[in-house]
Structure 1
Amino acid sequence: MRSLFFLLLVTTGFASSGLHAQEALPTITDALSADSTTTTLYAALDAADLSTALAEDREVILLAPTDDAFASIPSETMAKLLDPQNVSSLRTILTYHLLEGGEQGASDTATRASDGGATLGEVIECSNGVVYLIDRVLLPPGFDLSELVD
């Protein structure tokens, strides 16, 4: 009788060795806040009021510039970019790093990155999309950082 009960537990998945809680994936926002290489991006998303949008359930792909990528932008330019007067420019740059999820977005990911001179790095799977760490801040075609408001 005991062996039958044990067999029943194992086959139905109730044996303690078969019970492993599946870890829940973080949202994109949670993943960025936890990653030590994306602190500048996280702050920029917050300044542009975009961090809450990345916590939603829609599937997106984020090409996420690392802190080193942002460090390649002169500090005066970064200060201007983070100035509330330039929030629309900041949003334009950050939303250029976002692609819709799904097959089309996945196929556009490498193209967008390579067209901007970036290399795809670590991939972070999230509950609402995928984050690809990149080594460069991408600028939309025709965007000029020198035109930021002082």
Structure 2
Amino acid sequence: MKMWKSIAAAAVLGLIVAGPAQASDKSGDKQANLYERVENDASFSTFLAAVQAADMADALKGDDSLTILAPTDDAFAKLPDGELDRLLEPGNKDELAALLKHHIVPGSIFASTWANEKVTLKTASGDEIVIDATSSPFVVGDAHIVTKNIPAENGMIHGIDAVILPPSS
């Protein structure tokens, strides 16, 4: 019996000294940031290309806590023919950045926060979007949230099935 108490005490001491476990990224050091999560998910390769073309990679790697409503590759494929290519051109970087910021909300938000509610959120572009979570799947504009709660060190990603267009200026 004394041996089991010693083993239990050693295990507890080990937990106290080691501290809480952290989710790990591919390097094993820490949880991946938003950029790394997008980079490592094949369904967001077009979103990643758009982030890079808009010079927004640093924002997704930064310390600010963000929630991204990230259009999947299938979502970008629904844009009118030639629209994505046009947006990715260097001369349209500001327009592309504004479009992407319309998909980003300050703070890290679990989808369950919105359950059974209609919530208006202010985006990084300064516009508002409405999330209707009164039914399933949750709806944002003309998009549905198809993947919820992809955690990152600096926020949360929710995959959506359509690109949310900002209001016309």
In the alignment, is residue 116 of structure 1 matched against residue 122 of structure 2? no
Larger Rg: 1
Q: Name the TM-score, length of structure 2 as normaliser.
A: 0.71
How big is the shift at 1:139? 0.9
- Between the aligned partners of 1:4 and 1:99, the Cα distance in structure 2 is 50
Please say which of residues 3-12 and 115-124 is displaced more in the overlay. 3-12
Aligned residues of 2:107 and 2:155 also touching (Cα < 8 A): yes
In the alignment, is residue 88 of structure 1 matched against residue 60 of structure 2? no
- Between the aligned partners of 2:77 and 2:131, the Cα distance in structure 1 is 21
- Between the aligned partners of 2:9 and 2:40, the Cα distance in structure 1 is 41
Of 57, 60, 73 in structure 2, the residue corresponding to residue 54 of structure 1 is 60
How big is the shift at 1:72? 0.6
In the alignment, is residue 5 of structure 1 matched against residue 25 of structure 2? no
In the alignment of these two chains, the number of paired residues is 138
Q: Which secondary structure state, in structure 2, belongs to the residue aligned with residue 52 of structure 1?
A: helix
Unmatched 5+ residue regions in structure 1?
A: 144-150
User: Quick one: structure 1 residues 71 and 53, their matched pair in 2 at CA, closer, same or farther if it must change by over 3 Å?
Assistant: same
CA-atom RMSD in angstroms? 2.6
Q: Which AA in structure 2 matches 1:120? A: I
- Between the aligned partners of 2:63 and 2:153, the Cα distance in structure 1 is 8
Q: Once the two structures are aligned, what percentage of the paired residues are identical?
A: 31
Q: Name the TM-score, length of structure 1 as normaliser.
A: 0.80
Structure with greater helix share of residues: 1
Unmatched 5+ residue regions in structure 2?
A: 25-30, 114-118, 122-128, 133-138
User: Quick one: structure 1 residues 95 and 121, their matched pair in 2 at CA, closer, same or farther if it must change by over 3 Å?
Assistant: same
Which of 1 and 2 has higher RCO (CA within 8 Å, sep 6+)?
Answer: 1
Q: Which AA in structure 2 matches 1:74? A: P
Q: Which secondary structure state, in structure 2, belongs to the residue aligned with residue 12 of structure 1?
A: helix
Q: Which AA in structure 2 matches 1:22? A: Q
In the alignment, is residue 126 of structure 1 matched against residue 132 of structure 2? no
